[in-house]
Amino acid sequence: MKPGTAIIPKLSSTISSRSFKVRGDDFSLEFDRSFGHLKSWTHGGCELLHHDVESSSPFQLGFWRPPTDNDASWQTATWKHWGLDSLTVQNRSFEFYRISDGEVQVTSTAYISPPILAWGFLVETTYQVLGNGHVIVKVHMMPKGAFPTNLPRAGWDIKLSKSLDRAEWFGLGPGESYNDKKSAQKVGIYRASAEELHTPYDIPQENGNRVDTRWVKILNTRGVGFKASLSGSKRSPGLFQWAASRYPALELERTKHEAELEKDDKIHFRLDVDVAGVGTGACGPGTNEVDKVKCEEMEFEIRLQPVSA
């Protein structure tokens, strides 16, 4: 070993017919072998992910966001025509490898598509788990068939424990921002609760996005949680977008008045390589072409590292 080289702690792993578990000194991850997704992530004695038996994976790629008033005038119907609000995941393969005593790699291949329609994304996801607790997730996705020209967003939908309701980030803030709605925000380090991240429009809709972010920490009141960063963005290399809310997309879409919103029992965390701009479609032009999310081949990587109090 070279002088000054850090020693990566060892990992242990167990395999069953349904799951693959990886454990380190103070963390663990569990993957569902049948569905090919991450189902549990613990750190410091805390479960970071929220998982319902009846619901989908707490950690999966996402392409939908609640429509805005501007979207509704010209874009929402087209997105729904392509089934972007009802995508399903078909697991094709799931493999795991021990690279070294302190590194395990999990690779899954899946096809993400809407029901009936003959198009979808062929996706390969690689999870690199290190003995120090860091998790590096690499994605390569390719649209197949007669696919739409643009998407609401592209990134990860991560369902978190409701206790992870604090955010700290380095990027634009303190208010919400989008590719075409950010000039009023300044680069800095900000802190906010999940409630403070929500923008209370009179008619509930998409809100609370943050762009041009270098890193974000999602924590509980004891300061336990994780830090996330993303690379691979064509629009702004080294920068990403994110949102955290107690309201699921369906709740924001179906509710007609802000006072009627009902909080969920989890935190809905989005970590995105790109999100469509908001435009002015309700009273003017729609979203500019440069601010749309193109449906095309994408590669990006997220790095997740545990944070302790």
Q: What is the pTM of this model?
A: 0.94
> 63 phi and psi, to 5 degrees?
-130, -5
Asked, for residue 6, whether it belongs to a domain, the answer is: no
Asked, for residue 5, whether it belongs to a domain, the answer is: no
- Distance (Å, rounded) from C-alpha 86 to C-alpha 3? 53
Asked, for residue 3, whether it belongs to a domain, the answer is: no
Q: Which residue has the higher pLDDT, 279 or 69?
A: 69
Q: Which residue has the higher pLDDT, 241 or 284?
A: 241
Q: pLDDT per residue over 187-232, tens digit each?
A: 999 999 999 999 999 999 999 999 999 999 999 999 999 999 999 8
- Distance (Å, rounded) from C-alpha 292 to C-alpha 297? 15
Q: For residues 38-56, give the mean pLDDT.
A: 87
CATH number at residue 193: 2.70.98.10
Asked, for residue 267, whether it belongs to a domain, the answer is: yes
Asked, for residue 280, whether it belongs to a domain, the answer is: yes
The pLDDT score that the predictor gives to residue 115 is 93
Q: pLDDT per residue over 152-170, tens digit each?
A: 999 999 999 999 999 999 9
Count of domains for the chain = 1
DSSP 304: E
pLDDT at 4 over 90: no
Measured over the CA atoms of residue 158, residue 161, residue 162 and residue 165, the dihedral's sign is: negative
Asked, for residue 286, whether it belongs to a domain, the answer is: yes
pLDDT at 300 over 90: yes
The whole domain housing 41 covers 12-307
